[in-house]
Structure 1
Amino acid sequence: MESKTIALVKVLGTEYEILSADPEHKDLHGSGHDGVCDYLTHRILISNLSDWDETEDRKAEYTKQTLRHEIIHAFLFESGLGYNSEKSEHWAMNEEMTDFFALQFPKIINTMKKAGAL
């Protein structure tokens, strides 16, 4: 149940370690999630999907989507929104909002590039 570092990234100045882990890793197993963002240790854990019976292309695309989701969580937390949104039922850490950005980010970035907004 080892994990392997696949990247180190800066999220608003804080370094996060991104790790690939077996689905049986203690932080993934039984959680119902294929990714976890730990704000305290600054680690993002992504399942290597070794138990998935899918094509490598589907695994790769799902892994990217999961990674984007967890990175969005890290950005929201590092922005101070993890604690400061409590009065509104944690709107900034809401899974639906996080999924929106994770799923739509490739489209948003393409639109921004085409518009010359970057």
Structure 2
Amino acid sequence: MQTLNVLGTPYTITVRKYKEDEAFERESIDGYCDRYLQQIVICDMTTCKGWEYESAEAARSAQRQILRHEIVHAFFDESGLADSSFKVDGPWAKNEELVDWIALQGPKIYAAWQEAGAL
């Protein structure tokens, strides 16, 4: 288990086998960020349903992408954006709030990705 600093809040990163976490099958997901437990959980893709014949390299690459995705969720959560993201006016790529947020938090997210080995 690894710990990651997300805007001053420690998050644990856990990799679990597909059968070890019922959320993977129940929610049809391969990772999640629990803001209440400050925990990021990703699936060991070599054990994931439908990935039986993929290469170990493909599985590692997928896990890094999933980890980056969940780290972004953690940054949104710790920035207070989790509960205010139900409505977007206009195209999301033109949303100035989101663009500003990425511009401000991008270097910190990149550092977190590096720290977590997600690159």
TM-score by length of 2: 0.66
Post-superposition shift, 1:28?
1.7
Following superposition, the deviation at residue 10 of structure 1 comes to 0.6
Task: Determine if the alignment matches structure 1 residue 18 to structure 2 residue 13.
Answer: yes
Task: Specify the code of the residue in structure 1 equivalent to 2:84.
Answer: N
- Give the AA of the match of 1:38: D
* Residue-by-residue CA offset, 1:65-95 (whole Å, 9 max, x unaligned): 0000000000011011111334548x7xxxx
**Unaligned runs of at least 5 residues, structure 2:** 93-97, 111-119
- Show the 5 A alignment for 1:8-87: 8-24=3-19, 25-49=21-45, 50-51=47-48, 52=51, 53-87=53-87
> 1:29 Cα shift?
2.1
Q: Which has the higher contact order (CA 8 A, sep 6+)?
A: 2
User: Matches of 1:71 and 1:20 in 2, distance apart?
Assistant: 14
After TM superposition, list the pairs within 5 Å mapping 1:88-99 onto structure 2. Answer: 88=88
- Count residues in correspondence: 89
- Give the aligned CA root-mean-square deviation in angstroms: 2.3
Q: Report runs of 4+ in structure 1 exceeding 6 Å deviation.
A: none
